[in-house]
Every structure is written in structure tokens, then in C-alpha cells.
Amino acid sequence: MPRPVFAERVSRFGTTVFSEFSALAAKHGAVNLGQGFPDFDGPEAVKEAAQRAIRDGINQYAMGVGAKDLRQAIAEHALRFHGQTVDPDTMVTVTSGATEAILDVLLGLVNPGDEVVAFEPFYDSYDANVAFLGATSRYVPLRPPDAAHATWWFDRDEVRAAFGPRTRLLILNTPHNPTGKVFTREELEFLGGLCAEHGAWVLSDEVYEHLVFAPARHLRPATLPVFADRTVTVSSAGKSFSLTGWKVGWVIAPPPLRDAVQRAHQFVTFATASPLQAAVATALRLPDSYFEDLARLYLGKRERLLAGLREAGLPVHTPEGSYFILADIARHGFADDVAFCRHLVTEVGVAAIPPSVFYSPEHRHLGQGMARFAFCKTDAVLDEASKRLRARLAPAR
Ligand code: PMP
Ligand code: GLN
């Protein structure tokens, strides 16, 4: 028997759902509301800063922990928007996107055989990265809004049951992809209490920190006393500045946790693209009005796509944050969300993401009645998607 080409740690992975559906969208000329990337560019001043940095010769390796000025800008931004005091020299590492940061946190803090608790649906790289380490994921499903709950919620007993003697880390994601849930202070305090009880670290993925819609408010877990000493906050420039292709992210953590992440980062990428780091420092220092305008822009887009989906006969959950909408597809008569999304991209001409891929096999059925639509697109594109859905999606039974 020839040896298999794939190492075991990658053998169960196919192509990510994002690449798959972006390719299908291109092939079928579909409007792409699948993969979450804006179809518009980031601020001119930031693009100009990157070009200037390249012209000015900022083209060799940056410091491994990140360029000094960017770490300073990350600290200023954390204080301005979250009231979080950050020492740029001992509490920050700059990474190649939040994706690298997530891997570095797990490599730095989690041992093989440890358990990691996370909510489902989850951003897909969490599960893959936990598997890379030989650790085990313990999932708790978020439940959709119902008569008793205005927003997505979780069962506290289910969370308690997921924690145990081997729990090493809780992964939080707020605002949450793909539900749009923004965790409340009360929920966070409960979760922080459990982590304290079990001596667990926390990875808080906040890449959608600026995409939050009133009355929801983003609360950075690390600013609550129960989380302060145990939390690594992860964010990136991708969503906040509509520059997902730049892949500049960062972690903020108390010095011992930051050092654990840094030990991994130095051998994963060592350093992140230097001219882009210079430009992201400019971005993080944009005036408050930039961030207010961004949230207002996305609120308008959320309302536009919510209306379009409703008119097409798709019941929707209104997201409190992020740039995703989950729509209910259960009554459209497809075997599951993957079948629905394949039909949508090939026959209706709209790409969406089947959220069952963000669940463990045990809970996959919980995602099969929904589809995820991204609204980080120009209004004309959102309108075209709505038009196609209205015209070509058969009414629900
Ligand atoms: N976390 C979440 C919740 C995401 O949705 C994404 C992707 N957009 C990432 C992390 C990855 O971010 P980045 O592109 O900065 O690597
Ligand atoms: N985070 C983006 C999404 O959820 C996609 C990122 C990726 O393609 N890996 O759509």
C-alpha cells in the first residue's frame, strides 16, 4: 500500500466552505453574499499610507512582536474605544491576520489532550486549529431567538457541563460570526466565573468590534475584572477598515499570556508585512467619525438586506453585530442548508454560506435550517441579490 499523501492532521479537511462558494459564485456569475469580504475598498488615507511606506523604504522585516508605532496605535485604540489600558511593549503581538493570532494563542497556551470550550456555530478555523494541536473541542450550541429570548442565547447548564478538569481555554467570539450575537455583560460575567473556577484561559475574538448596532454595545471581555488576567483579545484590521486582504491582526494580553503567544508567533510567521503595519497604525488613529460612519453604513446595509430577504420569503434573524444575516430556510423544501445554498448559487444566482459547516457533527442538524448572507457589499449588489431571490426562489411551503 502506498503511504497516503496527507498527514492525518489535514486528512479530514476539504477545501474551506468560503473558497468553495466563492469559486462557485464566480463560475455561475452569482452575486456573492457568501465569503465575508467587502466589495468596496478601505479608506484612501490608509491605502496612501501603505504606498508611502513602501516608497519610503519600510520594506524589510518588522520587529517580531510588531512595529513599535503600530503597537502604540493598538494601545491608543484599545483605550479610546474600550477603556482598556495596554502596555504596547509587553502586551501586544502583531500577527498576519486574526487567523494567525488564533493559531498562535492555541499553540502558546494549549497542550495535546487539553480541552477547549467554544460556542457553535463557530468560525471554522477554531475547530481545525484545535485539531492541529491534538486537543479536543467541547462545543455548546447557541440557540436562536424564541418567545423567551430576544437574541441568540445559551443554556447555562450546557456550558457548565462542557467545562471539566481538562478545560484549558474558552473561545469567545463577540460580535459573533455567523449569528451576529453580541454577548452581554451578564453573560460574560457568568462565563468568566466558570473560567476562573476552572483556571481556564480565554481567547476573545473581536474582529467585528466596530460592527455593532444599537441598542447592542460591544463589551470587551478583558475589561471585566474576572477576565483581565486570563484573556487574550484577538482583533484585526480586516473588517474595521474594509481591508481583509491585508491580513494584519494582533493580540492584546497580560504579559505572561502575550509571551506565550509571542513564542509561537516567532516561529509561525516571525513578523507581519511591514508597510501594511505602518498603514494600519494610521487606520487605528482615524477620528471617531470614521468608526461612527462605518457602523452607520453597515446599519443601512443590514436593513437593506433584511428587507430584501424578507420580501423573498426568507424569515431572518436580525444580527446585533458583524456583517452577516442568518435566514431561515427550513420551509423551502431542501434536504439541508448545503443543498439550499448549492441551488441558490447555481439556479438563483446568489451565493450564501451553509452554516452547518460551523457545527460539530453531533450538532450539525442545528445549522441545516439556515443560510448565511453577508451584507458587506455595495447597495447595488445587495439590491441585485434581493431581486434575484424575489424572482427566482420558489415560495416557501
Ligand atoms: N475570526 C472571525 C470570527 C472571522 O469571521 C474571521 C474572518 N473574517 C477571522 C477571525 C479571520 O480574520 P483575519 O482575516 O484577520 O485573519
Ligand atoms: N471570515 C470570513 C467569513 O466568515 C471568511 C474568511 C475566510 O475566507 N477564511 O466569511
Tens of pLDDT, residues 14-56: 888 888 889 999 999 999 999 999 999 999 999 999 999 999 9
Categorize the per-residue pLDDT at 397 as very low, low, confident or very high, splitting at 50, 70 and 90: confident
pLDDT above 70 as % of the chain: 100
Q: Comparing 21-25, 134-138, 192-196, 351-355, which segment has the lowest mean pLDDT?
A: 21-25
Task: Return the pLDDT at 380.
Answer: 98
Is there an atom of ligand 2 within 6 Å of 38 CB? no
**Substitution site in 99, 323, 326 for ligand 1 pocket (most atoms within 8 Å of beta carbon):** 99
Categorize the per-residue pLDDT at 81 as very low, low, confident or very high, splitting at 50, 70 and 90: very high
Tens of pLDDT, residues 368-393: 999 999 999 999 999 999 999 999 99
Is there an atom of ligand 2 within 6 Å of 36 CB? yes
Who has greater pLDDT, 2 or 78?
A: 78
Q: Comparing 7-11, 68-72, 153-157, which segment has the lowest mean pLDDT?
A: 7-11
* Residue owning the nearest CA to atom 12 of ligand 1: 98
Determine contact, residues 140/119, Cβ cutoff 8 Å.
yes
Q: Distance, CA 246 to ligand 1 centroid (Å)? A: 12
**Substitution site in 127, 182, 236, 265 for ligand 1 pocket (most atoms within 8 Å of beta carbon):** 236
Task: Return the pLDDT at 155.
Answer: 98
Amino acid code (one letter) for 206:
E
Give the ligand with the smallest distance to the CA of 247. Answer: 1
Question: Architecture of domain 8-42+289-392 in CATH?
Answer: Alpha-Beta Complex (3.90)
- Coil, strand or helix at 94: strand
Determine contact, residues 230/188, Cβ cutoff 8 Å.
no
* Residue owning the nearest CA to atom 5 of ligand 1: 177
Amino acid code (one letter) for 94:
V
Task: Return the pLDDT at 94.
Answer: 98
Amino acid code (one letter) for 42:
G
Cβ < 6 Å from ligand 1: which residues? 36, 97-99, 123, 173, 177, 205, 207, 236, 238, 244, 247, 249
Task: Return the pLDDT at 178.
Answer: 98
Q: How far apart are CA 151 and CA 212, in angstroms?
A: 14
User: If we measure between CA atoms, which residue out of 159, 234, 153 comes closest to residue 192?
Assistant: 159
* Residue owning the nearest CA to atom 4 of ligand 2: 36
Q: Could you write out the DSSP letters of every residue in 188-214?
A: HHHHHHHHHHHT-EEEEE-TTTT-B-T
H or E, element range at 279 = helix 274-284
DSSP type of residue 149:
B
Locate 313 and state its grid cell. Answer: 420569503
Tens of pLDDT, residues 246-260: 999 999 999 999 999
- Using DSSP bridges, classify how beta strands 249-252 and 136-141 pair: parallel, antiparallel or unpaired: unpaired
* Residue owning the nearest CA to atom 10 of ligand 2: 36
Give me the residue spans of the domains in the chain: 8-42+289-392, 44-286
3 has pLDDT over 90: no
Task: Return the pLDDT at 266.
Answer: 98
Domain at 44-286, CATH from 3.20.20.370, 3.40.640.10, 3.50.20.10, 3.40.1440.10: 3.40.640.10
Amino acid code (one letter) for 125:
S
- The torsion angles phi and psi of 218, rounded to 5 degrees, stand at -80, 130
396 has pLDDT over 80: no
Tens of pLDDT, residues 326-339: 999 998 999 999 99
Task: Return the pLDDT at 12.
Answer: 85
